[in-house]
Chain A
Amino acid sequence: MIEVRELTKRFGRTVAVDGLTFHVKPGRVTGFLGPNGAGKTTTMRVILGLDHPASGEALVNGRRYDRIRHPMREVGALLDAGAVQGGRTPLGHLSWIARANRIGRDRVVSVIEQVGLAGAARKRIGGFSLGMRQRLGIAAALLGDPAVLLLDEPVNGLDPDGVRWIRELLRGLAAEGRTVLLSSHLMSEMELTADHLVIIGRGRLIADTPMRELTAVRDVLVRSSRAGDLATALAAAGGTVTAEDGGGLSVRGLDPKEIGDLAARHAIPLHEVTPRGASLEETYMRLTAELTGGGAGR
């Protein structure tokens, strides 16, 4: 459980986060979205005790992060996969983190295997690709078997296999009852991974809503060789029908089953029945449209 309450953070005269309040609940993947400079990373940094807020607070499991005795055992975080020293090996890097939080050596070996770095455990990190660094960062986040995970852009630099691996990993962790906060710029990826979304812009909350409400079915596209007859029948049954360019009908107020049954009763052939939802990308663009044209902070 992560609670962000009335959080404000300024960098000089720039307000990066402005009275932000939201909760991240366990058992689901919460996507954290916003245009560049919306304050996502700053918010995550405040949650992790790296940045000091001007006012408000961020609590993890009811406590400020810097009051947690062995934080890696409660919170796993990946902020910047590049933030490692190239002169060390994954084994060395994870060993000091484990030692600092009294995590057993066996966990170091098992997370290295879990993220698929077993073959590179003794190679210098300096020679790693971005994808390998992301995997190492995820290994560090998972090291303490934490109940809360914060990941900033974890799929950057990963190949399609890696992207899919992260998606399944995060969904699995949420299904185990963990709290997962995930930021990403990739809308399609977010749509597949997240159950809930927190969208911010210019440091303020724009939406805090389940994914299915943002991508709910909007209308049904229907095509038929007797479009005119079908439109009449659908309208009579209570649907709102609009003719589209290309001969299709956009139907609202009736679901695909009702449309199909109705057409069968009138013996009207159907060529296509497609329920259409707004994609996350479209909804996101609409929600953040008024904010584009100037970011704030970082």
Chain B
Amino acid sequence: MIDALAAEWLKLRTLRSTFVVLGVVGVVVALMALLAWYAVHLWEGLPPGRRDRLEVSSLPELANWLASLCLAVLGVLAFSGEYGTGMIRTTFTVLPSRGRVLAAKASVVAVVAFCTGLAAVLATYAAGRLIIGDRPIRGQSAEELSRQMPLFLALSLSIAMFALLGLCLAAITRSAVAAVAALVAVWYVLPIVVNNVPAPWNERIGSILPGALAGQLAGTGNPQSLGGALLSPLAALAVTVAWVAVPYTVAAVLLARRDA
């Protein structure tokens, strides 16, 4: 297993597309800084009495939302890049245990996604604090980092979940297009659709959507998003695990059964 892990790690960091995806995450953080600057600009321009009408989405959470799609794409590419070129056959001749290949890819992608996600969220938080300073702009938490850390860790965990979901979808569909389409459906389309479902089902279903889990994990709820917040942190953790475990199991069974 160590050999497979080391090999998948080498594969990931010798591929150009990995750095393209990480570069896009960097751009997202830069955009967040720009957004913070713009919010400050707007806030300063308002008469003091109307300043609390201005509300800006929590920048670390917004960064997380965008980064989760980037890293889900990284997860997709870890498999679809090999299916698209036929390299999957080289992989399976080099490492004949397909379960081991899946486990190694999943571990590497999960760790990279978690670390990248955490770095992006922390960088966004730091940039936000630097630019916004002590201006009380609504939506921007002025709390200390230690108080925010549970949420940031939960956000990073949800990024890892998205990345693994992408990886498994690519293993199942063997196609980048199909996997990314399914991901975007879960990431963007589904929350909008669910929001329009009659109550109380909008909130019930909304609570178990991937994008709604981080807030419930950290116990902060989802005040700014479409997601529901009916789950306890423990239940949210169980649902997070299920979003990975179910597609992972399907992928493992299909990989073992199918001809490569």
Contacts and interface: CB of A to CB of B under 8 A. Distances in A.
Interface string B5-24: 01110110011110000000
Contacts of A124: 16
Interface in B1-48: 3-4, 6-8, 10-11, 14-17
A50 B259 CA distance: 6
Q: How large is the interface on A (under 10, 10 to 19, 20 to 34, 35 or more residues)?
A: 20 to 34
A89 interface: yes
A101 B95 CA distance: 8
B109 to A, nearest CB: 15
Contacts of A77: 93
A79 B14 CA distance: 23
B89 interface: yes
A51 B260 contact: yes
A80 B86 CA distance: 8
Contacts of B257: 52
Contacts of B85: 82-86
A107 to B, nearest CB: 14
A30 B90 CA distance: 23
Interface in A80-105: 80, 82-89, 92-93, 95-97, 99-102
Contacts of A88: 11, 14-16
B185 interface: no
Main secondary structure of the interface of A (DSSP, over half): loop
B149 interface: no
B97 interface: yes
Contacts, number: 87
A145 B90 CA distance: 17
Interface string B188-203: 0000000000000000
Tell me what chain B mostly uses at the interface: helix, strand, loop, or mixed.
helix
B11 to A, nearest CB: 5
A49 B15 contact: no
B82 A85 contact: yes
Interface size class of B (residues with CB under 8 A): 20 to 34
A75 B87 CA distance: 17
Interface in B80-104: 81-82, 85-87, 89-90, 92-97
Given A45-B259, A66-B97, A99-B3, A87 B89 contact: no
A89 B14 contact: yes
B3 A100 contact: yes
A100 B4 contact: yes
A66 B87 contact: no
B105 to A, nearest CB: 12
Interface in A25-49: 45, 48-49
Contacts of A49: 92-93, 96
Nearest to B97: A66
Contacts of A95: 10, 14
Interface string B105-117: 0000000000000
B254 to A, nearest CB: 13
A92 B10 contact: yes
A284 interface: no
B96 A66 contact: yes
A100 B93 contact: no
A95 B8 CA distance: 11
A96 B7 contact: yes
Contacts of B86: 80, 82-83
A92 B96 CA distance: 20
A99 B15 contact: no
Contacts of B95: 100
A80 B89 contact: yes
B260 A85 contact: no
Contacts of B14: 88-89, 92-93, 95-96
B20 to A, nearest CB: 9
A231 to B, nearest CB: 60
B259 A99 contact: no
A115 to B, nearest CB: 16
A100 B15 contact: no
B16 A140 contact: no
A9 B15 CA distance: 35
B3 A101 contact: yes
